[in-house]
Amino acid sequence: MKQYVVDAFTNQIFKGNPAAVCILDEWINEEVMLNIAIENNLSETAFAVKNSNQYEIRWFTPGGEVDLCGHATLATAFVILNFYENTDEIYFKTIDNVQLSVKRRDTLYEMEFPAYDLKSVNITDEIINALGVKPNEIFKARDLLCVLDSPQSVIDFKPNLDKIEKLEGLLLHITAKGKEYDCVSRSFGPKLNIPEDPVCGSGHCHIVPYWSEKLNKNNIHAYQASKRSGQLYCKIKNDKVLIAGEATLFSESKLNIK
């Protein structure tokens, strides 16, 4: 089985968010896919199988399967559009029958994802204790979104992963209004055995709707302030979030899976 590792949301290796990608002829056992993800020890390993004019796609973290992943979708599209298909647009279907699309626009790969419907959450002592700081606002959809007062607060944030794991939401995102960028964020997923996700595409399906409304603008240039860092060029389109970024190939390898 061939596997690619692609750094997403960057044009430099060792930056952005690395994802492993396996393009399969047919689906393999879920346990094997999870074991591959555990062996890779990246935040995401994507598996895709072509079915007619689209690809079915699934994503596994070292802690299990997830329903949506942005950077691994971008990485998978990069692999398919550069090594498998002679086209500039690819369509995916998730295990939940959600339709996704990715278009190549010059050096960018633009994904169309569903926007999450954010619900305001009370700022509790538990959340303040877990974060070590009092957020300005908190929202919840699939993940928990906490708004801090400055980009430096996001950059300097020191996560207590044991406490964060006990909070509601699959992942935790912290964000603040940016200076060079519209917004700055970081993402943490201890429930999925991901201490910090370097650049989280699905997280921006929470982050971008918030800042689009707050800043009263449809186009959001986002920066993820992890150690690896990455940039996302985002746009609100009705109930969708268009997320674009660059990608670069780090490696190609053969997995000895029988």
User: CA of 159: how far to CAs of 22, 151, 156, in Å?
Assistant: 32, 16, 10
| Number of DSSP helices (H) and strands (E) in the chain, helices first | 6, 18
Q: In whole angstroms, what is the distance from residue 241 CA to residue 110 CA?
A: 10
Active-site choice (31, 39, 44, 137) = 44
User: CA of 127: how far to CAs of 153, 187, 200, in Å?
Assistant: 16, 16, 21
Q: In whole angstroms, what is the distance from residue 114 CA to residue 201 CA?
A: 11
Q: Establish whether 44 is a catalytic residue.
A: yes
Which distant-in-sequence residues (6+ apart) come within 8 Å of 39 by Cβ?
none
Residue numbers annotated as active site: 44
